A and B are shown apart, each in its own frame.
Chain A
Amino acid sequence: MSETRNVIIAILVVNLLAFGGIIYETGYFEEGDIDTSTIVTANIILKYKNLGENHTKMFNDTTTSEATAYGLLIASSENSYSVTSSTHSVYGLYITSIDGWGDCSNCESEEGYFWTYSVNDESGDVAANRKVINDNDVVEWLYTDEY
C-alpha cells in the first residue's frame, strides 16, 4: 500500500510540474486584461510581396473601436476586402488570409507565404488582437515568405 501511495505521489508531482509549466507557457497570452476599447483613428497598409514590392493598398484615417492591429484590420476591411483568421494553441490569433490571399492551400506560387504585421515599422511581437495601437499609428500587413 505504501508503494501505491508513493506511486500516486510521484504521478501527482510530475503532473503538477508539467501542468504548471503548460499554464505558465500558455498564460503568456492572458497577462491580465488589455484595454482595447478606445476609439482610435489610424492608417493601415496592405502589402503583397508575392505581387511585387510596390503592390500596396492603403487605407488612411480608419477609425476602430477596438484599438488593436487586428481591430484596425477588421475596421478597414468593411466593403474593401475579406479577412479570415484562426487561433493557434501557443501564439493565439493569427491571420490566415486578407483580400483572398492566404486561402489557397494548393497554390504552389503562394507556398510558404504568410501574413505578418508591424506597427510604426516595428514587427508585431504579440498576437494582432493584443497589440494596442494609438491615433495616427501606421499598421502594415505584409504578405511575405521571408522570416
Chain B
Amino acid sequence: MSEIINFDHASATRPLDEVAKSMQPYIRDLYGNPSSLHLEGQKIKDAIDKARAQVAALINASPEEIIFTSSGSESNNFALKGVAFALGKKGRHIVVSEIEHFSVLQAARSLEKLGFEITKVPVDSNGLLDPDDVKKALRDDTILVSIMHANHEIGTIEPIREIAGIVKARDILFHSDGVQTVGSVPVDVKDMNLDFMSLAGTTFYGPKGSAALYIRKGSRINPLIDGGTQENGRRAGTENVPGIVGMGTAAEIAARDMTMRVDFVTSLRDHLIESLESKIEHVSLHGHRTLRLPNNVNFGFEYIEGESILLMLGTFNILASSGSACTSRALKASHVLLAIGVSHAIANGTILFTLGIDNTKNEIDLLVEKLPPIVERLRMMSPLYKK
C-alpha cells in the first residue's frame, strides 16, 4: 500500500522524531512520580519544569502561568467551569460565539443547566466576529467571555486583540481557545491581553493527551480536579510526564521554526485553493480568504455529498474530513457552517483539508489531479445536478 496522504491535520499531527525521542526515557526508565522525593522524583520534576518553560516561551507567558491538562477539551472546560465556579457569586452571565468548539459550547450548556446564562454572539458569512457585537453582549453580571482565536473548521482568525480590549476595559475575564493557533501561528498572550488560553500539543506535532491552559497570574479560577498540589494546586493528579515532555519539545521546535512553517504551509494552502477554484465549477470557499489559518482549506461542493467524496479520495489514500451530517455520529451538519449561513445541502457537501509541514507540493498536485474527476463522477449520479 502506498503512503497515506494526510490532509486531516486538524484531527491529528504526527509527532516529530525529536518529540518521540524526548519522551522515550519517561515512558519506562524514568517512571518515578515527580511528587516523590525518591526514585529520581526531582529529575522528573525538572523535566516537567523544562517543558513548562518551553510551552510558556511559545506564547510569551511565564512558566508558572502554564497548567498542563489532558486535552484541548479539558482546557476549555477548565476555563469555563473553573471561572464559573470561582465567580458564580459575582455574576452568572457568560458570553461565547456561535462557532466555538463543542467543548466550549457543551461546557456552556452544562453551566446553563446550573443556572448560568449564556449569550452566543453571531458571526458573519466569513465566520468573522464583530467586536461591537461582543461589546453589546456584555452585562454588569458578565463574568467571562470566551471567543476562539481561530475556527477549527473554516480557519477564520478572529480579531482577538480588539475583543480582549473591549472585554478587559469592563474588567471581565477573557478566555480564548487557541487550540488551532498556538504552535501554528505566532501567539503572544501578553500582547493579546488574555486571561486564559487553551492549547494542545496534538496540533503542533506533539503527542496526544498533552495540552495546557494558560492562566494569567492572579486570574480567578477553581480547579476541576481536586486532590493533591500538582500543577500549583490547580489540577490534581499525577502528571502525564511523557506527554508533557513531548509537548515541551514540540513547543520549542514550533517557536524555532514558526516563520518557515507558516510560509511553507500558507504556500501549499494558496496553491490548493487557487487550483481547486480554477478546476472545479460550483465550489465555494468557506471562511475568510485572508484572515485564515495557514493550513485551512474548506470547500463546499454543490450537488454532492461529503462522505462520498471522502470515500473516493480514500481509494487514493488521501485523507480529509467533512462537514457532512453523514460523517458525524449525530447525523447533524456542522454548526459552524450553518452559523455562517451555508445551506444544509452545501454543508453536507463540504470537505475540510487541513495541511501540515509534512505535506508536499506533489501531494497537493495529486489531490488537484484526483479530485475533479471524483466530483464530476458523483455529480453525474446526483439528481440535483443538471449539466
Indicate, yes or no, whether A interacts with B: no
